[in-house]
């Protein structure tokens, strides 16, 4: 999967999650890639007659999209809530799908602006096992 990792003037940093290498490209090259059907997280169209909107992802979104599907992760959606144990269930151009007994999608914009916290270090092994069993 590819995502917008930075923006420097007219250059756009595109990073491949497979190897973590960032390539700086211009808007024309990005438009060519999009015309070939490539998908980039952080690139949206207002309409087909306009240039794409490009927004680099924040650190927590990047942390999530670098995890393989099926990975355990704890997320805190609001400052006054507790961490929830979840499993990464999938990705879309707009957000990540998590499973905590039910599937839900969190948009990258909300993750980056809404102050969502992501913890990959302190997973609850019992809760993870229970979630993985209920997914099957």
Element (H, E) at 39: none
What is the pLDDT at residue 46?
Answer: 66
Query: Taking 70 as the threshold, does the pLDDT of residue 97 lie above it?
Result: yes
Residues 26-72 have pLDDT tens digits of: 999 998 888 898 888 888 766 666 677 888 888 888 889 889 999 99
**How far is Cα 44 from Cα 69, in angstroms, rounded to an integer?**
23
Residue 62's CB: how many other CB atoms inside 10 A?
A: 21
Predicted TM-score (pTM) of the model is 0.78
Q: What mean pLDDT, rounded, does the chain reach?
A: 89
- Residue 105, both tokens: 């999608």
- DSSP characters for 110-133? HHHHTT-EEESSS--HHHHHHHHH
> Which of 84 and 60 is assigned the larger pLDDT?
84
What are phi and psi for residue 130, nearest 5 degrees? Answer: -60, -45
pLDDT of residue 40: 87
């Amino acid at each position: 999967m590819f995502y917008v990792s930075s923006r420097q003037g007219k250059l756009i940093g595109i990073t491949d999650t497979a190897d973590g290498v960032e390539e700086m490209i211009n808007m024309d090259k990005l438009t060519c890639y999009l015309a070939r059907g490539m998908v980039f997280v952080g690139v949206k169209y207002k309409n087909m007659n306009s240039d794409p909107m490009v927004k680099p992802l924040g650190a927590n979104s990047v942390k999530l999209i670098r995890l393989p599907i099926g990975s355990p992760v704890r997320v805190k959606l609001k400052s006054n809530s507790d961490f929830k144990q979840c499993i990464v269930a999938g990705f879309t151009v707009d957000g990540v799908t998590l499973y905590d007994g039910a599937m839900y999608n969190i948009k990258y914009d909300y993750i980056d602006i809404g102050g969502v916290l992501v913890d990959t270090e302190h997973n609850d092994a019992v809760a993870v096992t229970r979630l993985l069993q209920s997914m099957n």
